[in-house]
A and B are shown apart, each in its own frame.
Chain A
Amino acid sequence: MYDVAIIGGGVVGCAIARELSRYHLRTVLLERLAEVGFGTTKTNSGIIHAGQQTTPGTLKGLLEVRGNAMFDQLQRELGFGFRRCGELVVAASAEELASLERMKADGEAKGVPGLEMWDAQRLRREEPNLSLHLVGALFAPSAGVINPYEFAFALAECAVQNGVELRVEQEVESIALRDGGGFRIHATVPSGPGAVQAGLGAVKAGPGEDSVAGVDVEARFIINAAGVHADKVAALVGADDFIIRPRRGEEYLLDRRLEGIVTRLIFPVPTPASKGILIIPTFDGTLMVGPTAHDQDDRFDVPTTTEGSEEVFATVRRLCPSLDARATIAEFAGLRAVSDTGDFIIGPSRVPGFFHVAGIQSPGLTASPAIAVHVVELVGRAGLPLVEHDQFNPHVAPPARFATQSHEVRQALVEADPRFGRLVCRCELVTEAEVHQAVDHGARTLDGVKFRTRAGMGRCQGGFCTTRVMQILSRRLGVPFHEVTKRGAGSWLVIPMAEDREAAMTEAGGMSAGDTTAGAGEEAPCSDA
């Protein structure tokens, strides 16, 4: 029996897992998808907010400012991509300027450091590519950009290294109250369309467990960090005190040659529904614009749309006229877990031992480390003994990145490990050693390698590296090439021709090579022209 089961391996669940791993506890982290951080986290805008934009007096407002302050240390410990580039909320009118003044006062009351009002002249000097119509801005130096998936991967890896059990491809199906306290969680492998078709074997279950029938996990406490599915998970124990309404956001990633058009995060003045559509100079040096904000009922389907693209570019061009939709190299969408309470829902539910960490929309990523500390404290108050582990290791080794090294360092890397001499992704200069490292650090899928190494993120979008990465994954996971997936069950990539050949041989029924009649009558591919 586990002390704690965390349901949901997004950035929040991963942060909680790492926080719990500081103590002498048996903790399990259950994730529905093939890897952690593959849901909302992967599609996050990647902003560490300064905190001045959130309504004062809310839980999210409190945890946001607290969370922001934790990132320097976290970055040192976990090595994810993070840079405090600062943010500008820009005003296009006198009214907007007035609301920025109010925002500044609110932010200072919450303890947001270094807020400054900039006039049009200062704004022009600092960000010369912004629209000339802008009349001023509120500058918040403590805001930053982050690679959110790297953060989640590192949190999970750190947690696992300190004893947390991570189980992926576990979809929670039922939760029962155990006699004598605690819960019994039944989880099964999520079935996606096509999973059976491609004969996927990539099922993750413990030894001796029948993965198809599902697994049972028993735990004294449950922390529900299931993101857009949190209300459904809560309903399994009758703790559905809230409703989650997914709010889709579309993001557009622009070509690297636009690097430097803006150097800080650029926000319009926010509305109650969202912080608006922004210009994001990502940690990796590309520009990203978005997100949109549209409520939807579907919790799985996350398309980008023509309307979304038009909305994004029309909006950001008002801030920065030189941005053009034609510079898009990739587009994606994600779902925010918006609760009907309007604030984060963190704490005990009406079912003793079952804790919610729900409705974590923006600024959830910023707040996530503070959320983790907060919720662990609450579970501790409810009876979980928090005895600190003296062996806790807060660090994970950051991956060696060949591309960003000097000639001399590169030489040393290749000498130490010849696999650094074998190029896998030519756009982002990723070597075979880095792909192996990614697998060592938990990558199980093409996307897992991509988001850890950047292989496949460049201009050719995987045209060159896909087969190379698939080969390495196949070897390392001990599965046939065709069982490697893009991102887990259902996302199969190829079908072996050998299979087809066997079928052909059976069909031919021992027909001799060169027989003119066999097969000719069936489904002749030639039409009569």
Chain B
Amino acid sequence: MTARQEQHYVCISCPIGCPLRLVHEGDQIIEVEGQECNRGAKYARQEFTDPRRTFSTTVPITGAVYGRLPVKLSAPVPRQAIPAAMAAIRLLSAEAPVRLGQVLLRDVAGVAGVDVVACRTMDRVMITPSDDPSSAT
């Protein structure tokens, strides 16, 4: 028989931030308490069974108005996969033009269905402000 244990979370569903206590025996959730609404229980269960996160970062881009293209994950990945996802994105680069939503990498870190997508359109610019000929000497 597995001993009864508990996990503590702070609910992020709304700004109240209810302190949640989840009681479990092994993988079996016994109860969740501390929440002021149903979303708290749901959040704690998700955190306990399969905590997922998403993040945004940038990749280098050439030929655009700035040197970085913002990218995001199309869906959350298991929290443990973040370092691998980040490492994979670090190897990417892009060349303008890029369209909003364009997929730069499929199934990032081996997570099926989670892609790395461009968060904005970046047109190709011929002269960027930083190498404006009028300023060169």
Contact = CB atoms under 8 A, between A and B. Distances in A.
Interface of A: 418-419, 432, 436, 471-472, 475-476, 497-498, 500-501, 504-505, 508, 511, 513-520, 522-526, 529
Contacts of A419: 134-135
B34 interface: no
Contacts of A525: 82-83
A275 B90 CA distance: 59
A36 B60 CA distance: 38
A202 B43 CA distance: 54
A112 to B, nearest CB: 48
Given A497-B60, A497-B68, A508-B87, 4 more contacts: A419-B134, A514-B107, A514-B110, A519-B83
B105 A524 contact: no
Contacts of A526: 53, 79-80, 82-83
Given A498-B60, A508-B87, A508-B91, A520 B81 contact: yes
B92 interface: yes
Contacts of A472: 135
B56 to A, nearest CB: 15
6 contacts: A418-B134, A436-B137, A500-B90, A501-B60, A524-B83, A526-B82
A471 B130 contact: yes
Contact of B91 (A432, A504, A517, A524): A504
Counting from the closest, the 10 A-B pairs by CB-CB distance are: A516-B110, A519-B87, A520-B84, A504-B90, A513-B88, A516-B109, A471-B130, A524-B83, A520-B83, A526-B79
Interface in B66-110: 68, 79-84, 86-88, 90-92, 105-110
A279 B34 CA distance: 58
Nearest to B87: A519
Nearest to B104: A513
A417 to B, nearest CB: 9
Contact of A505 (B53, B91, B111, B129): B91
A476 B84 contact: no
A495 to B, nearest CB: 14
B87 A432 contact: no
Interface string B114-135: 0000000000000001110011
A519 B135 contact: no
B84 A519 contact: yes
Contacts, number: 78
A444 to B, nearest CB: 15
A516 B84 contact: yes
A475 B134 contact: no
A12 to B, nearest CB: 33
A513 B88 CA distance: 5
Given A515-B88, A518-B87, A524 B80 contact: yes
A518 B84 contact: yes
Contact of A432 (B86, B131, B135): B135
A471 B128 CA distance: 12
A498 B80 CA distance: 25
A514 B116 CA distance: 10
Contact of A513 (B9, B92, B137): B92
A476 B137 contact: yes
Contacts of A518: 84, 87
Contacts of A505: 90-91
Contacts of A523: 83
Contacts of B9: 529
B136 interface: yes
A491 to B, nearest CB: 22
A475 B80 contact: no
Contacts of B83: 519-520, 522-526
